[in-house]
Amino acid sequence: MTIERSGWRARIGIITPGVDITIMEEWGTRLPEGVCSHTALMELTEATPSGLLPLKEKAMAEARKLTATGLIKILLFGCTSGSFVGGVGYDEGIIKELEAATGVPSTTTTTCVLGAFTDLGVKKIGLVGPYIPDVLNIEIEFFKHHGIETLYCKGLGYADVKQIAKTSEEPYIYYPLAKEAHRSAPQADALFITCFASPIVRVVSALEQEIGKPVVSSCSASLYGVLKRLGIKDPVESYGHLLRMPR
């Protein structure tokens, strides 16, 4: 199948650090008919505040290459921590710079997460993911500014990107962490599994059935936000309540 035929509705350009195993697994067979994605990788060794900040400039270089053919319909900066690490408004700044550099409509994972929370009516979350406390604290403050209260937070304590990348090969890793988050903060409106490398597709249906509330990940929120921006309304099955919602 040629690129032109597989992307006759839209071609999504994804700029992400490290490996893209999670995005291939999570999005691979779930993109609506006529939608395809193309990924460019940015070098990242440590998911620390100082390690994450240079990603913005790296993204600009990759974005220019990814969009050079003129085929990309929308760009996604596919990194949660990399799009909130600079604090409030940092994601919006990345979007402006990407659009100025390429002329292509753009968004970030963090922007998509905020949009998903708004559409779900989420004000309180349980938060789990791979990050170290320094990164999670920035994320909690970022959400707080946007009216999202974090009632529970648990990180795996990984700074090494190789460790974070390995979570993409463990499809059930967040099931027990999510269940513990629900037990500890049952009043949360949703559970959020942060980081673009975090897999949920194998466990999200069981989790939502068992805890009775939405389970959102960086990848699922990104897909929701990109499809909404593209005006593609097809429901995406087997990927949680969020992707079945009208967009």
pLDDT in tens, the chain (247 residues): 344 457 999 999 999 996 667 888 889 878 999 999 999 999 999 999 999 999 999 999 999 999 999 999 999 999 999 999 999 999 999 999 999 999 999 999 999 999 999 999 999 999 999 999 999 999 999 999 999 999 999 999 999 999 998 898 898 999 999 999 999 999 999 999 999 999 999 999 999 999 999 999 999 999 999 999 999 999 999 999 999 999 9
The pLDDT of residue 222: 97
The pLDDT of residue 19: 60
Q: Per-domain residue ranges for the chain?
A: 3-109+220-235, 112-217
Of 59, 61, 75, the C-alpha closest to 17 is 59
The pLDDT of residue 87: 97
The pLDDT of residue 191: 98
Its pTM stands at 0.95
Rounded Cα gap, residues 91 and 107, in angstroms: 8
Dihedral angle of Cα 193, 230, 115, 212, to the nearest 10 degrees: -50
Rounded Cα gap, residues 5 and 207, in angstroms: 36
The pLDDT of residue 4: 47
Task: Give 3-109+220-235's CATH code, choosing from 3.40.50.300, 3.40.50.12500, 3.40.190.10, 3.30.565.10.
Answer: 3.40.50.12500
The pLDDT of residue 208: 98
Of 126, 40, 117, the C-alpha closest to 79 is 40
The pLDDT of residue 160: 94
Q: Do domains 3-109+220-235 and 112-217 have the same CATH topology?
A: yes
- In this structure, the number of other CB atoms found within 10 A of the CB of residue 193 comes to 28
Angle between helices 109-120 and 90-102 (to 10 degrees): 120
The pLDDT of residue 23: 84
CATH 3.40.30.10 fits 112-217, yes or no: no
The residue ranges of DSSP E strands in the chain, in sequence order, are: 10-17, 35-42, 74-77, 106-108, 124-129, 149-155, 190-193, 215-217
